[in-house]
Amino acid sequence: MLLRQGVLVALLAAGCQRQTPGALGRIGVNLIKVSAGTYRIGVAGNSRNPAREVSLGAFRIADAETTNAEFTRFIEATGYVTDAERAGFGQVSREGMPDWAWSEVPGANWRHPHGPDGISAAALPNHPVTQISGADAEAYCRWAGGRLPTLAEWEVAARAGAATRWPWGNAFEVARANVWNGEDHQRNTAEDGWKLTSPVRSFPPNAWGLYDVIGNVFEYCADLPPNVPAGLGATLIAGRGGSWWCSAGTCSFYNLEDVGVMARHGSLSNQGFRIVYSQ
Amino acid sequence: MTARRVALFVSILAGGACLCLAEGTSAAKLLDGVIAQPGHWNQMCSMPAPLPPEVPLPLYSLAAERNFNVSDASIEKLGRDRAEVVKELRSRLKFADLNRAAHGRSHGIGAESGQDPRQFSGLMLSIIQKLDAIETVPELLNIEASLDLALAASRPDSRKVFPGLDLDSPVAWSLERNTNGPKVSVQVFTARVLQRETLAIIASLLRSQKYTPLLESKMERHYLEHLREAATKPPLQDIKTPADIPENMREWVTFDPVHNLPCVKTRGYESMPYSPALRLQIRGWAEDYLKAHPELAR
């Protein structure tokens, strides 16, 4: 009972503070404060995210995914070269592909996430940056004085107190998130208004004011799920929340429960991140 | 023979003879590079269908989706020096030490698989299949025999079966949480998967050579049923000839060379129940093929 009361107090207290970090210097993002406490996360039967309690220290998390404009400032300040730029290609998905197919597109990188013939990041300043690897995201976070959220931090902030499959409940609502609308990747009906990424904060936020925790882009996290063998941290990275490419007919990872894993230095057109600061 | 003695025997065979790897040849470097950075990785939400612990025989493919795959561009690179690359593959298969850890190396550069290019792995099998390297059948038969021997000598929950082998696939990560049925260790599961996959790739190579006994087999009839069914569903249902493949699908849709039916290159794992009899049948075909092609035994 005491534990439940403590959790309730922590949940009520959390998410009430927004900060625009002058002290955090290089970037101006809205940060949501999450209080220290014990939280329930995971779901029974999910081997990558089993139901459990976690104790977290206080942290602050960006209310939105890192945008092209923000990432541009990082690049201009540091000259950093992303993994996709080094490799000379990124993996791209397009309408009309079979499910589970990806194209290796020369010249696809954060500046041109769908390839040189596609729309440029400069034309989408408020869209989440993509075609950046987990390692690239970590480099940005270091520059900005922050870090990636842990899997637990991400889920606690994304849930915002909800114990349901989505922040708003157990039934998916098209108007709440940017995901793939269609039976398969042959056609996107764009019922939610978007075929690719959408500007951050285009959809309603969760109860604590975080936007796009579901859909838009997968968000990299700092650690790997508990069932992943030790020693894979150098080659793999985890991500959560699903993306504009995720559909009910394929992966359906656009929820608060599932945890994805992929190449740490791989770049795709539906991966992104949001930044976190320890208290 | 206990699993430990089998492992020791295999280790002596491999380690004692491991002297002649052409570390510096261009083919060796090429192969090292492709296995280290295969060029293709799964998307974040790729979640392979669970494999039952008894592990079926995949039909002409790997059984388990890997974290990293060999891209078409990487295969094209290898194909330009195919003869030397295949020679190098044969050498690595011959001297592969199944007791040695296949995973663990990482240099933090590029989308690296972390797989040791000198060790037996799903990436190596995939390269063999995509290069259509029928020349590697003698060495694949030996690897399969080692795996089968070790499995036969072990209990399903044994952790001593080639502990270094690594599937590098999420399919193995939740195995030990599976509480239905007799407990199977990750090590036994991994060895079973690689053993079935080796047989499947041997069969695939024979199929590519249009080996008649295989084409007339129950296994092939099962595969034909799968192809026919898949051809009636999206995205293949409107594709009757290669000319029907839409431009934006040409990267992923091909035609099966035996039955001239459309098929998708991604995923599409089809299988049938594994049995020792099926194993002996595939091995028998391979041995017959080698007798008819003695040049491959060199």
Q: Give chain A positions within 8 Å (CB) of B179.
A: none
Q: What ipTM goes with this model?
A: 0.83
Q: Where does residue A71 rank: exposed (0-12), middle (13-18), buried (19+ CB within 10 A)?
A: buried
The residues that bridge with A166 in the sheet, in sequence order, are A169
Nearest CB to B71 within list A93, A104, A246: A104
pLDDT at res. B109: 64
All residues at 6 or more sequence positions from A200 whose CB lies less than 8 Å from its CB, including other chains:
A64, A65, A67, A126, A127, A128, A211, A212, A216
User: What mean pLDDT do residues B123-129 have?
Assistant: 96
The answer to whether B268 faces chain A, any CB pair under 8 Å, is no
Whether A186 and B114 lie within 8 Å, measured CB to CB: no
Rounded-to-integer distance, Cα B224 and Cα B230, Å: 10
> Is the Cβ–Cβ distance between B31 and B3 less than 8 Å?
no
Whether residue B22 is predicted with pLDDT greater than 60 in this model: the reply is no
Residue with more model confidence, A2 or B261:
B261
8 Å CB contact of A266 and B41: yes
pLDDT, residue A270, reads 96
Residue B153 clears pLDDT 90, i.e. is over it: yes
**Is the separation of the CB atoms in B155 and B108 below 8 Å?**
no
What's the confidence (pLDDT) of residue A14?
41
SS3 label, residue A271 = strand
Task: Give the model's pLDDT for residue A251.
Answer: 77
Residue of higher predicted confidence among B243 and A19: B243
In this prediction, residue A190 carries a pLDDT of: 94
Six token digits for residue B177 = 């949480």
Q: Encode pLDDT of B166-189 as tens digits.
A: 888 888 887 765 556 778 998 999
- B34, B35, B41, B45: best mutation site toward chain A, by most A Cβ within 10 Å? B45
List pLDDT tens digits, range B35-60. Answer: 999 998 888 888 777 889 999 999 99
Q: What is the DSSP letter of B135?
A: G
Segment A265-272 mean pLDDT:
96
By the CB < 8 Å criterion, does B112 face chain A? yes
**10 Å Cβ neighbour count for B228?**
11
Nearest CA distance, B290 vs chain A (angstrom): 36
- Residue B197's pLDDT band, with cuts at 50, 70 and 90, is very high
Q: Which of residues 136-195 of A touch B (CB under 8 A)?
A: 184, 186
Contact across the interface for A98 and B109, Cβ inside 8 Å: no
Higher-pLDDT residue of B6, A157: A157
For residues B120-137, give the mean pLDDT.
96
The whole-number pLDDT of residue B105 equals: 63
pLDDT reported for residue B288: 97
Residues 6+ apart with CB under 8 A from A156: A14, A34, A39, A41, A54, A56
What is the spatial distance between Cα A117 and Cα B46, in angstroms, rounded to a whole number?
Answer: 27
Q: How confident is the model at residue A9 (pLDDT cuts 50, 70, 90)?
A: very low
pLDDT score, position A18: 45
pLDDT score recorded for residue B106: 65
A239–chain B Cβ distance below 8 A for any pair? yes
Percentage of chain B lying above the pLDDT 70 cut: 87
Q: Determine contact: B243 vs chain A, CB below 8 A.
A: no
Percent of chain A with pLDDT over 90: 76
Which residues pair with residue A37 across a beta bridge? Answer: A56
- Residues comprising chain B, all counted: 298
Chain A residues inside the 8 Å CB shell of B248: 94, 96-97
Q: Quickly state the pLDDT bin for B104 (edges 50, 70, 90).
A: low
pLDDT value at residue B2: 58
Instruction: Give the chain A residue whose CA is nearest to the CA of B101.
Output: A231
φ, ψ of residue B103 to 5 degrees: the values are -125, 150
Across the interface, whether the CB atoms of A235 and B174 are under 8 A apart is answered no
- pLDDT tens-digit map of B5-21: 555 554 444 444 443 44
pTM score, two decimals? 0.88
| Beta carbons of A240 and A155 less than 8 angstroms apart | yes
Contacts of B203 (CB under 8 A, 6+ apart): B59, B60, B214, B219, B282, B285
Judge whether residue A20 has pLDDT over 50.
no
Residue of A nearest to B114 (CA): A235
CA distance A125 to A111: 11
Q: Which residue of B has its CA nearest to A98?
A: B235
Which residues partner with A236 through β-bridges? A263
Residue A261, SS3 per DSSP: strand
For residue range B71-97, list pLDDT tens digits in order. Answer: 989 999 999 999 999 999 999 999 999
Count CB-CB contacts under 10 A for residue B107: 10
Among A120-134, B197-211, B234-248, whose mean pLDDT is lowest?
B234-248
**Which of A26-35, A120-129, B60-69, B131-140 bottoms out in mean pLDDT, i.e. has the lowest?**
A26-35
All residues of chain B having their beta carbon less than 8 Å from the beta carbon of residue A234 are 106, 108, 114
Judged against a pLDDT cut of 90, whether residue A8 lies above it is answered with no
Average pLDDT, chain A: 89
Across the interface, which of B46, B72, B234 has its CB nearest the CB of A100?
B46
Q: What is the mean pLDDT of residues A140-160?
A: 97
Q: Please tell me the number of Cα atoms within 13 Å of B179 on its side-chain side.
A: 2
Predicted local distance difference test score (pLDDT) of residue B12:
46
Mean pLDDT computed over every residue of chain B: 87
Q: What pLDDT does residue A10 have? A: 38
Evaluate whether A130 touches A245 at the Cβ level (below 8 Å). no
Higher-confidence position of B277 and B97:
B277
Q: What is the structure's pLDDT at B188?
A: 94
> Residue holding tokens 């990560």?
B173
User: pLDDT (tens digit, 9 = 90+) per residue, A31-59?
Assistant: 999 999 999 999 998 889 999 999 999 99
Full DSSP string of B223-288? HHHHHHHHTTSTTTTT--SGGGS-GGGTTTEEE-TTT--EEESSS---EE---HHHHHHHHHHHHH
Mutate to test the interface with A, among B35, B40, B44 (most CBs of A within 10 A): B44
Encode pLDDT of A60-102 as tens digits: 999 999 999 999 999 999 999 999 999 999 999 888 887 777 8
Note the pLDDT of residue A103. 87
Nearest CB to A184 within list B103, B113, B234: B234
